[in-house]
Amino acid sequence: MEHVNRFTIQCGEAGNRDELRVRLFLSSLSGSAFTWFISLPPNSVITWANLEKQFHKYFFSGVHEKKITDLVKLRQRNDESVESFVQRIREVKNKCYSLVLDDRQLADLAF
Q: What is the pLDDT of residue 78?
A: 92
Q: Quick check: pTM over 0.75?
A: no
**More confident of the two residues 5 and 34:** 34
For 38-96, write each residue's pLDDT tens digit: 888 888 888 888 888 888 887 776 556 788 888 888 999 999 998 888 888 888 887 78
pLDDT reading at 20 higher than 90: no
Please tell me whether residues 50 and 11 are part of one structural domain: yes
Q: Residue 94 sits in which domain range? A: 68-110
Alpha helices by DSSP H, 26-101: 31-38, 48-59, 68-72, 82-94
Please tell me whether residues 82 and 35 are part of one structural domain: no
Please tell me whether residues 80 and 39 are part of one structural domain: no
pLDDT reading at 1 higher than 60: no
Helices vs strands, H then E, count in the chain: 7, 0
Check if the beta carbon of residue 86 is closer than 8 Å to that of residue 80: no
Check if the beta carbon of residue 78 is closer than 8 Å to that of residue 84: no
Please tell me whether residues 49 and 92 are part of one structural domain: no
**Number of other CB atoms surrounding residue 32 within 10 Å:** 21
The total of structural domains in the chain comes to 2
